[in-house]
Amino acid sequence: MNQRIQLASLDDQRNAEARETVRQRISWPANLTPANVTYHSRGHALLLGSERDTRQAARILQGRGLASLTLVFTAPNAEGVDDGVNDSDLLAATEILTTQALTRAQAEKLRISGHLGMFKTLLDGDEPLDLARALIEREAFDLVLDLNASPCLPVELPPPGYVVMQWQNVEQRNDILDDFVGLVGEFDKPRYFQVNSDLCAHSTSGNIGCTRCLDVCPADAISSIQGRIESHIEIDPFLCQGVGSCTSACPTGAIEFRLPETRRQQDTLSAWLGAYREAGGQAPVLRFITHDSQDAERAAGVVPAGHVIDAPLEELGAAGHDQWLTALAAGAAEVRIQLHPNMPARLSAFLTDQLTQAHALLDALGHDRARIKLIEIADDAGRDALPALTPLTESPLSLPEPEKRARFNRVLARLAELGNPNGERAAMPAGAAYGAIQVDSDACTLCHACVSNCPTPALKSGGKTPALSFLEADCVQCGLCEQACPENAITLMPGFLASNARETRHICHEEAAFECINCGKPFATVSTVATIKQKLANHPYFAGEAMIRLEMCEDCRVKDVWKTMIRDPDAQLKV
């Protein structure tokens, strides 16, 4: 299954023709009518930084269509700077503008939040000061130009309308300022995501479980909102910029990218590879690349080698290791992820983590990890290199299930068939959604709190028989079962099990049913009744002969209470 490829047998022209056939027959899916969010900006701009830098920027921006310019000095002027600017002329040109100097302590307390058309700026303190109301008598600033060495809003991917620049960067200065003055008017952008809260493994019964989407968003657009009991994930569509790493990190499919949807993307990848083979193409390499990078290559006249098929994405985070492995299971010889400049640090870390997970799964399933790799910026040789190995299969891949986890389990099963699984539990990076649970049979009372808190079908009750069953393939290691267990009987066992046992539901714990002493109806387990009797031994309601009610089903227990009240109406007053 890891046969080395015969380089002389490949015809690049034939592959290029097959690739063109694919493009003509099957178009890449796109959401042509996504729901939009609209920004309204009237051009009230806030400039942050040293007095000298902000005044220079303001002088250039004056008279260019901005409704107002407000300068807030948040840093000291750089010493020893000789840029030929006359201070008197600079002050004279900007003296009519609203300015406010902050001390270093005040600058550290400056809090900025929001987006284009609605930037809130507060000075924290016993009585917070709203700078927009204080300085320009408005609810908010529309846009912000931050000239500080360390931006006041420390976000990897700043929200639309928050422009960060270094004034000393002369080469890009004019272009950035030109773009800045263009941020006036109404602007629409896609609502990149859709959320199914029923699938979310973030919280239940007051416990916090999965936080993977929160951990990978470079725009800080995702929040955990605390409700009366539960917490829930909320995505701010005005802050979200379509990086897509949240959808790839989500193990249950609760967050799904809309441009295109994950299912359509997977199906198209499989269809492309099938059409490529039918057209006579050989050894296809699937390259994930952003639309912007693809456009830049075309503008520069770059044409990838004939065997390289490009899957264009809004951002690389929109396809994670599940998509990459899907391509291999559908017949790609290799998968390459084309990196690009100015990637947020959290996106880079996310891709590295996804690659580590993909390599661990390939190792466990008996495949060469070289089948998936990152391609560095401007690495033309790495982009066009022939794959070292032949495709794993030429058979089409069908993924009929709608659920993300079920589809990926089918992909993993296909790779297991095509490989040589080692049958062991492979270590995975921290936070990976693979693993099992260990149940302490001595402590478990089969209360099934874990079952009611499990967001997937991984844990189930035994139906008529008191039992707890587990299917490892569906476990996403959210930890909600472990937190919900009142007896601390559950322990997570992270790692990917490269064995058929992963797809087999097994019994973790089972007991004989406890039958009601009156009617004989089974209503609990022996251990549950024993535990309840122990914990309520000193409760006045169950004092004396009343303790026997704990050995009755719910119906007989009620009947016994009424019989006691008939015999002794004052009995309930003694509790």
Buried residues in 455-492 as b, exposed as e (16+ CB within 10 A): bbebbbebeeebbbbbbbbbbbbbbbbbbbbeeebbee
Mean pLDDT calculated for residue range 563-570: 76
Tokens, residue 506: 């097994």
Per-residue pLDDT tens over the stretch 146-166: 999 999 999 999 999 999 999
Q: Residue 537 pLDDT > 80, yes or no?
A: yes
Task: Identify the weakest region by mean pLDDT among 99-108, 164-173, 480-489, 493-502.
Answer: 164-173
Contacts of 489 (CB under 8 A, 6+ apart): 439, 440, 443, 444
Q: Residue 402 pLDDT > 80, yes or no?
A: yes
Q: Residue 83 pLDDT > 80, yes or no?
A: no
Tokens, residue 199: 């699938």
SS3 label, residue 380: helix
Question: Rounded to an integer, what distance in angstroms lies between the CA atom of residue 296 and that of residue 299?
Answer: 5
Environment class of residue 221 by beta-carbon count within 10 Å: exposed (0-12), middle (13-18) or buried (19+)? buried
| Geometric angle at alpha carbon 422, from 397 and 504, rounded to 5° | 65
Q: What is the 3-state secondary structure (H, E, C) of 402-456?
A: CCHHHHHHHHHHHHHHHCCCCCCEECCCCCCCCEEEEECCCCCCCCCHHHHHCCC
Contacts of 15 (CB under 8 A, 6+ apart): 281, 282, 283, 284, 305, 306, 307
Residues in the chain: 575
Q: Residue 50 pLDDT > 90, yes or no?
A: yes
Q: What is the 3-state secondary structure (H, E, C) of 188-225?
A: EEECCEEECHHHCCCEECCEECCCHHHHHCCCCCEEEE
Question: Rounded to an integer, what distance in angstroms lies between the CA atom of residue 473 and that of residue 567?
Answer: 57
Question: Rounded to an integer, what distance in angstroms lies between the CA atom of residue 169 and that of residue 156?
Answer: 19
Distance of CA 433 to the CA centre of its chain: 12
- pLDDT at residue 376, rounded to an integer: 96
Q: Considering only residues 176 and 569, tell me which one the structure prediction assigns the higher pLDDT.
A: 176
Question: Is there a cis peptide before residue 260, judged by omega within 30 degrees of 0?
Answer: yes
Q: Residue 575 pLDDT > 60, yes or no?
A: no
| Geometric angle at alpha carbon 185, from 179 and 186, rounded to 5° | 110
Q: Are 202 and 209 in contact (CB under 8 A)?
A: yes
- pLDDT at residue 526, rounded to an integer: 81
Mean pLDDT calculated for residue range 77-100: 84
Q: What are phi and psi of 517, to 5 degrees?
A: -70, -10
In terms of Cα–Cα distance, which of 248, 268, 261 is closest to 327? 268
Tokens, residue 151: 């931006």
Q: Are 34 and 191 in contact (CB under 8 A)?
A: yes
pLDDT band at 1 (very low <50, low <70, confident <90, very high): low
pLDDT band at 455 (very low <50, low <70, confident <90, very high): very high
In terms of Cα–Cα distance, which of 362, 368, 456, 357 is closest to 412? 362
Give percent of the chain above pLDDT 70. Answer: 96
Q: Which residues pair with 524 in a beta bridge?
A: 514
Q: Residue 513 pLDDT > 90, yes or no?
A: no
Strand bridging mode 459-461 / 425-426: unpaired
- Residue identified by tokens 């920027």 is 57
Tokens, residue 184: 């006036």
Residues 559, 561, 567, 570, CA torsion sign: negative
pLDDT band at 34 (very low <50, low <70, confident <90, very high): low
In terms of Cα–Cα distance, which of 401, 373, 394 is closest to 266? 401
